[in-house]
Amino acid sequence: MLADELNVKGNVPRTGPSPSFSDIEVIALALTVAYLSIDLEGLASYLCHL
C-alpha cells in the first residue's frame, strides 16, 4: 500500500531527528492502550501529584 513511501525503519520520511519508535509501533501502542482502556492522562496526573 504505502510501503514504497516508508524509509528503512518503517517511518514516513520527515526532517529532524530520527524517532525512537517507528510509526507503526506508535500506532500499535495507541491501539493497545485504547483497547485496554488505559487512562494515560489520568495516570500521569496521579504520578505527578505523589
Mean pLDDT by 10 residues, the chain (50 residues): 69 74 85 83 81
**The length of the chain, given as a count of residues:** 50
Please tell me the distance from the alpha carbon of residue 13 to that of residue 7, in angstroms, as a whole number.
6
Domain that holds residue 31: 3-48
Q: What is the DSSP string of the chain?
A: --GGGS-TTS----SSSPPSS-HHHHHHHHHHHHHTT--HHHHHHHHHT-
pLDDT at res. 25: 85
Which amino acid does the sequence have at 15?
Answer: T
Please tell me the distance from the alpha carbon of residue 17 to that of residue 1, in angstroms, as a whole number.
26
Number of domain units in the chain: 1
